[in-house]
Structure formats: C-alpha cells, structure tokens
Structure 1
Amino acid sequence: MTFRVRPATPDDFAAIYEMAKLTGGGFTNLPPDRATLVQKLARSEDSFSRTEDSQSDDLYVFVLEDPKAGIIRGTCQVFGQVGVRQAFYSYHVSTLTQTSPELGKTFRNQMLTLTTDLEGSSEVGGLFLHPQARAGGWGSLIARSRYLFIKQHRARFGDRVLAELRGVMDEAGNSPFWDGLAGRFFDMTFPEADEFNAVHGTQFIADLMPKTPIYVSLLSEQARAVMGLPHPTGRAALRMLEEENFVFDRYIDIFDGGPTVTAHTDDIRTIDESDEELIEEIAPGGKTRMLLACGRLKDFKACLASTRRAGRKGLCIDPEAAELLGVKKGDTVLAVKR
C-alpha cells in the first residue's frame, strides 16, 4: 500500500464525510455535516483554480490516497489567511503582578484576554488519518506535504502560520474549559457550540462573550487544569508541529482551551530544508527516504520515495514514486529528507 497526497475534489466527498464521522467531535475544521463539507470542497476548488498569486481567503483541502486501490485514508487543510470572513478569536494567557506593601505580599494572577492577534496568519489544520492508516509514517507525509505546498506557492501565504489543536474533552464529548468559562455565557453545551461554530463561525462568541480580561483563578479547577493542553489523540500532532519549529506562545482556543502554536513561515523546518532537485535517474535501490512534491495548484502531488544521488547534481528516485508523482527523467521535484 503506497499513498500520495493530492488536492481534494468534489468526488472525494463520501470518503471525507466518512472520516469526519470518526473524529469524535471537537474537530472544527472537519465537522460531520454534509452541507459544510460540500461548501468546503467547493471553496477549495475555487482556491486551487484562482490564478492570482497572492494571499487571500483561500482554503486548500488535500487527501491521502492509494490510487491503485482507489481508497482515501486521510485529509488535511491549509488556509491562506485567517480573519477575513470573520474575526479570528483566541484567548491570550498573560500574567498580572500586583504588590501590596501594607500586606507585604505579591500576587501573580494569570488572565485570559480575548484577542484577534493572529489575524492575517495562514493556518494548517483539519488533519485526520483513518484508524487503518495510523502506521507507516503516513501522518508525517500528509502533515509535511502542506509545507511543501506552501513553499511552492509562497506568495499565497502569510509570514506566520498557526495550528490549533483540539483541547481536552471527557468521554461524553464535553469540554471542562467550555463548562468553566464560555458555557456560563451561552445556553448550549460544548458539543452544540462546537457544531454551531463549525457551520457558522465564531461571530456569536464576539456577540456574547465579555470583552474584559478574565482572571484564571475564578475558573473551576477542572477548567484551569486543561488550559493549553491538547486532546490525548493530538499529542503526536503537537510533537510533529514542534519538530517543524512551531511554538506555543500562550494562545489557546476559546472553545476548548486547546493550544494554538505558531511559526514564522520561512522557519518551518520542511520549508527551510527542502530544495529543488533534478531527476537524473528512475531506478530502485535508493537508501535515503525523502518526501517529494511536484506540480502547482490542482496538479500538486507529494509522496515518500527511496532515493540516492545520481550524477553531479541529480537525484535517483524509485519507479513507484515516479509513477505516483507522474514525473520522468529531466523533471524537477521539491525534496526534503524524511
């Protein structure tokens, strides 16, 4: 079984919808809602078809497919610019230090401030692997392929990229952070709010949430305990992001308190370390595993390949990778070591 990453098409709806039903909730970018997913795929088609090479309110949806078997086992998304259609809200965790000379005491209080600091950033998200594909390095393939796409279309993306990770939830799908904070201002449960957000966006948060900073000490112990922590199923994703030079800069999700991590676009490891390579030979026997990508926009493809050096400046790739990418001797690929 060998996979490649390519742009999603409307024909992929059924497979993406089936994966959306497996997420378990709290996965805002991949809701199990038919109409929303149809709209996402249509928006993605428009983004891949847009000819102007500039940053905009684009959404690019990709799938992980085995073309020979005709199956899809993963999906991910890249947003060109957040905060265009609606404000992009986060909580920023800060510290306020106050001293009382009379008491001889100093108090340091954490505070949550509703902010739109991250507007204008690009975003990677919506990454989900089918349970049957969670071994073999396919998660790394689909995650890192996004950065190769960004590098090949650099003018379409901002100078900062963010990723939101799903926060901690209990077995019933409830969020301790939501219950301890936002849930007090809305007459809805976390699953209801999360579903509404996935379909309609976050404007209702701006309409009803208090604009003043909130003292963390006033939250429940359960809410404080999960602030900035990813859902257990997202720990591997967080590690992959950290390996790409994403950092947690004290921004958390306004719904479930999950961490938002950011990176300077050109400092993302896959972007920084990838280079254009000339294919000098197509043959088996390469010892170095690399991630390769080629093609622009709708023609973009990425896969893992066995490679070795060929000639002075060229690369030899295995025949299977060449077939997956649709490349031949003399073509160029964007390559980075696995």
Structure 2
Amino acid sequence: MLTVRPVRISDLPVIEKMAVDSGIGVTSLPNNREKLYEKIQSSLGAFEHEAIAGTGREYYMFVLEDEGEVVGTASISASAGFEEPFYSYRSETMVHASRALQVNNRIHVLNMCHDLTGQIQLCGYFCAPKQQMRAYELLSRARLMYISAARARFGRRILVEMQGILDDNDQSPFWDAIGRRFFNMDFPQVEQAFAQRSKTFIAELMPTYPIYVPLLPDSAQNAIGQIHPDFERPFDILTREGFEADNYIDIFDGGAVLTAEVDQLFTLREQRMHRVEVAPVLPEGAVEMVISNHRSAEFAVTQARGVVVDEVLFMTPDTARVLALTSGQQACVAPLLPQAGRTAA
C-alpha cells in the first residue's frame, strides 16, 4: 500500500540516493549528506512544533513508501525566501512609442523581482521513475493534505518551480544567454551553488535592469516558460490541482513557475472530514480515494478504497493500520483528481 509520512533520520541513506538520481533538476534536494541531514533535522523540528501558527521558517519533508520501501520524497517550505528574497523573472510587456514616427511597439521583457517571497513553496519532489502515476499523485497531493491539517501554519498563496529545458549536455539555453554572461559558470555549477550556498549572489551578480527578450537567441526565447520532459508528470498533476503558469519564470533556466490560491486547489476544495468506521468488508459503492489522518507529527496519508455512508467513512483494517486510526476517530478524505481536460462536478 502506498503511504506518505514525515521523513525520519533513518531515511537518510535512501534520500541520499534520490538526491543523486534526481540530477541537477531538484535544487532543494542537494547531493550533499550534511545538507540533507540538516533538512531532515529541520523537518523533524517543524513537525514536532506545537504552536498553532507557524513562524514561516518551517521546512517539512515527506517520504513515499511502497510496501515499506521508500520510493519518493517531497517537501514544503512554509515561506519561500524567509531569510532572503526569493528571486524570479516577471514576464511583462513594455511599450515603446513615438508619435512623430507613428510607431507603437510592444516588447516582451523580463524583470528580476522577488514578488513571490513569502509564499508557500512546494519543493524537493522526486519519485522513482518505475512508480505508476498514482504514486506521483499521492506524493504531490499529500503535501496539500498536510497544509490542510495544519492550515494556520501556512499562508494564502503557493508556488512551485518547474525545471526548464536543457540540452543533451545538461546545459540551459536560457542560462547561457543571460546568467553565464555575469557568472562565468555553466548551468550545473550554478545549480550546485544555488542548492548549497546563500542566494544573495543572485542580487550581487545578475542584471537588475529589464532583459529584452527579442535580443536573446532563439534557443533562449524558446525555453522561456517551458517544462523539462522529466517534469511532465508533476506538471500534469499540479495543473489538474488548479496551479497555473502565471507571469513568472525561473531565474536560472527560464522554466515555468506555477502559482495558485491554496484554498482554491482541488484537494483543499473537495476534501471532507468524516468519522471513521473500520470494517473488514466495505459497504457497496467503495471507490479509490485519498485519506489522511489529519494530524501533524504523526501525519500519514494513503490512497485506498473506502466509502462514505451517512457521513461515516468506512475503511479496511489495512488502511486504518497505516493511518494509525481506529473506529470513532476523524479522517480527511479527498476524491481522486479529475483527468486532464475535465473538471470536478
């Protein structure tokens, strides 16, 4: 049975392997044992924090288990750029006009900004490629179920960065056209620096004036707002949740930055709380659903068959066991995501 739970110190070896397997695309999952250990320790403290409202500093790391084997990980940063600004490029249109020449041109420009600072950030996402789509979905949605369970700890807006287009040598056409001119570092090098050091170097070295998109090479222009093929599954899940590619792109590779209103996302909109009844045989009408125990430090979520009858959620003993629930307790239930191109009724 697929289950998502908070990370433990004992998960460090497998998290290390995932950091290697994820390559350069997941900067919040650094290939550095000490940094990963710090993230796990930070997560343990965040989950155990008893305050109703968070400070914004919290970092929550989860793992996906498949029959007891850890096969994925994902995280939440309660406030992007809590200690330093969260940089991105804002995509805008600038008008250049001359009444004398009767010219009125609309030019696509990119402005470095930190508009998204303070928003919730979904990050550190990696799932073993052999896993089916349902595993990817559960890992992604579990974070939203946790935000619901600890809603007072999180803000109103949420963002996710998508990795942009790279060539066969893991170089970014977008980075080569802009960042390399100021850093004299190739893309893998700067991604490594971003993952392990302070981000203030962005403000120190990157141009703060508008970037005129028509002046960039075609390869860089074509990369703006695009998604790396390895991120197509997460992108599909997030867009079905209700995330949208707004006017922001990643400052390094030009990949799309997705944003949303937290409470308007499908999982939070459609979830319901129900009293639990554990039954060896489920009543008629049981369907697959996402179920969480709606706790913090002992948080757990799974996808399993269940059925709601007269506001009571019937689940099997196996489901109750992985969620540490008994009859009479409360559980949070969300339906499966609508398929692409369809919306919930």
Partners of 1:73 and 1:132 within 8 A in 2: no
Task: Output the amino acid matched with 1:294.
Answer: N
Task: Output the amino acid matched with 2:210.
Answer: P
CA distance in 2, matches of 1:155, 1:337: 23
Partners of 2:165 and 2:226 within 8 A in 1: yes
CA distance in 2, matches of 1:47, 1:328: 26
Q: Report the RMSD for the aligned CA atoms in angstroms.
A: 1.4
Determine the structure 2 residue equivalent to 1:192.
189
CA distance in 2, matches of 1:292, 1:257: 36
CA distance in 2, matches of 1:257, 1:38: 30
Matched, 1:306 2:305: yes
Q: Aligned in 2, Cα 1:71/1:111: closer, same or farther, shift over 3 Å?
A: same
Determine the structure 2 residue equivalent to 1:273.
270
Deviation by residue 1:86-115 (Cα, 9 ceiling, x = unmatched): 110010000012223343332111111110
Determine the structure 2 residue equivalent to 1:90.
88
CA distance in 1, matches of 2:122, 2:25: 16
CA distance in 2, matches of 1:153, 1:87: 25
Deviation by residue 1:286-332 (Cα, 9 ceiling, x = unmatched): 5311100014222000001101233x221111222112112111111
CA distance in 1, matches of 2:239, 2:168: 27
The CA deviation at 1:279 is: 1.1
Q: Which shifted more, 267-276 or 316-325?
A: 316-325
**3-state secondary structure, aligned to 1:139:** helix
Name the count of aligned residue pairs. 333
Determine the structure 1 residue equivalent to 2:138.
141
The CA deviation at 1:207 is: 0.8
Partners of 1:246 and 1:262 within 8 A in 2: yes
CA distance in 2, matches of 1:308, 1:65: 23
Partners of 1:284 and 1:319 within 8 A in 2: no
The CA deviation at 1:281 is: 3.6
Partners of 1:5 and 1:302 within 8 A in 2: yes
CA distance in 2, matches of 1:253, 1:199: 18
Partners of 1:167 and 1:257 within 8 A in 2: yes
Determine the structure 1 residue equivalent to 2:160.
163
Determine the structure 1 residue equivalent to 2:343.
none
CA distance in 2, matches of 1:104, 1:96: 17
Deviation by residue 1:181-212 (Cα, 9 ceiling, x = unmatched): 11110021110000000001421011111211
Deviation by residue 1:22-53 (Cα, 9 ceiling, x = unmatched): 11312111122212111111111121122222
Determine the structure 2 residue equivalent to 1:252.
249
Partners of 1:282 and 1:322 within 8 A in 2: no
Q: Which stretches in structure 1 are left out of the alignment for 5+ residues?
A: none
The CA deviation at 1:243 is: 1.2
Determine the structure 1 residue equivalent to 2:29.
30
CA distance in 2, matches of 1:196, 1:46: 26
Partners of 1:4 and 1:324 within 8 A in 2: yes
Determine the structure 2 residue equivalent to 1:65.
65
- TM normalised by structure 1 equals 0.95
CA distance in 1, matches of 2:236, 2:308: 30
Within the candidate set 171, 180, 183, 1:174 is matched to: 171
Determine the structure 1 residue equivalent to 2:18.
19
**3-state secondary structure, aligned to 2:196:** helix
Q: Which stretches in structure 2 are left out of the alignment for 5+ residues?
A: 337-345
Determine the structure 2 residue equivalent to 1:8.
7
CA distance in 2, matches of 1:52, 1:297: 11
CA distance in 1, matches of 2:323, 2:289: 13
The CA deviation at 1:132 is: 2.4
